[in-house]
Amino acid sequence: MKLTKYILGLALMAGTLAFTSCDQDNEGAIYEPWAENISFVSAAPAQITTSGDTIIPVHVRRSLTNGSRTVSYTYENADGHITDQNSGSVTFADGEGLAVIKLKAHDLTPGTLYQATLTLPEGLKDDADTLFNNQNLQTTINVLCDYNWVQVGTCTFVDYTWYDGYSGDGIPVYRAQGFNTYYIEAPLYHLYYGVESNPSTGNFQFDMDANGTVTVSEGLWNNMKYWDYVPYYTSSYPDYCFIEELENNGYGVNFLLYYGGSLYTGGYFEFYLDF
């Protein structure tokens, strides 16, 4: 089998050499891009920071690198917390295929998502190498200013959604420093997968005031998706979505499940805080 692959490889190489040598007048045309194809590298880059001030690089590429070129773009940021350090233009030096626009995020509030949109001119569509490269003429930058999380204790988590009363204890609980926001570290992963398989996702986040009242965000909890079912919490269905206080510093969370465009009942878990 190895010998067959070796012979086949030689045959393909010989065929390639013969093909390229028959068109010396256009040598290299097969391998080089035929258009400059200026584009944002990513359509929606994201960055998480715990700093109030940070520099965000936005990368712009081009396929052809002969000569220098300056390209203008438009910039939008509604809240004023992300500013354009390039003043609306980016320059490719001769021989360079990658250029960087620098944005500065400043005066950020923890727990807040900030966005900025950059748009290249429509005229660049006429210079697109669409055969080999995608062309992103617009990119939306997402900057999340995360909290400074500090572990404050552990909890026992009891799941009644997937298995009737399956529980695990010693699951870490973190609090956002200076805020009444908490999260339980990936409770479903602790119970069913082992947190080592995916420790950075699946956190259950909630707010708890000085009186011990717990509230949660409304909408889909995509990070707690399990078996293609996504927990869904909404005040529009108060009979199915509510939080009840239990004994021993415990809370029961009732929610709906979203799957295939439909909502289902039966979502429920409990957690008991140890702090």
Which pLDDT tens digit goes with each residue over 181-240?
999 999 998 998 765 555 556 899 999 999 999 999 999 999 898 888 999 999 999 999
Residue 11: strand, helix, or coil: helix
Q: Taking Cα atoms as reference points, which of 203, 207, 215, 211 lies closest to residue 253?
A: 215
Domain boundaries, the chain: 39-127+135-145, 149-274
Q: What percent of the chain has pLDDT over 90?
A: 65
Average pLDDT over residues 245-263: 96
pLDDT in tens, 120-144: 999 999 888 767 678 899 999 999 9
Give phi and psi for 196, each to the nearest 5: -60, -25
Are 251 and 214 in contact by the 8 Å Cβ rule? The answer is yes
C-alpha 92/C-alpha 33 separation (Å) is 17
Answer for the pair 137, 124: CB distance below 8 angstroms, yes or no: yes
Tell which CATH architecture fits domain 39-127+135-145: Sandwich (2.60)
CA distance 192 to 168: 10
Of 201, 224, 220, which Cα lies nearest the Cα of 271? 224
Instruction: Find the mean pLDDT for residues 81-105.
Output: 95
Q: How many angstroms separate the Cα of 58 from the Cα of each of 39, 65, 105, 146?
A: 11, 19, 13, 20
Q: Is the pLDDT of residue 20 over 80?
A: no
At residue 25, the pLDDT reads 53
